[in-house]
């Protein structure tokens, strides 16, 4: 027997927008694929994660003299 997507599941998806699909799937007890399909149908953008700096980014910032430390 399969469970149908309810308005409560839609509310959970909207409330958890910006979180990884796996976390939403755990909360709604649906598969990640189902969560992705409903997220796309509602027009909610996918989880982007945090921006990462590469070694090149750090080297260029260091060469430019940028200092991100909190020293006084």
pTM value?
0.65
Sequence-distant (≥ 6) Cβ neighbours of residue 16 within 8 angstroms: 23, 24, 27
Cα–Cα distance between 25 and 37 in angstroms, integer? 12
Q: What is the DSSP letter of 17?
A: T
Contact (CB, 8 A) for 32 and 54: no
Q: What is the pLDDT of residue 1?
A: 62
- Per run of 10 residues, the mean pLDDT along the chain (length 72 residues) is 88 92 93 94 86 84 72 54
């Amino acid at each position: 027997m399969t469970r149908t997507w309810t308005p409560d599941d839609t509310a959970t998806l909207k409330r958890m927008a910006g979180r990884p699909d796996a976390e939403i799937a755990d909360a709604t007890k649906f598969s990640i694929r189902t969560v992705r399909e409903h997220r796309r149908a509602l027009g909610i953008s996918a989880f982007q994660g945090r921006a990462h700096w590469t070694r090149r980014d750090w080297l260029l910032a260091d060469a430019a003299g940028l200092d991100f430390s909190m020293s006084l």
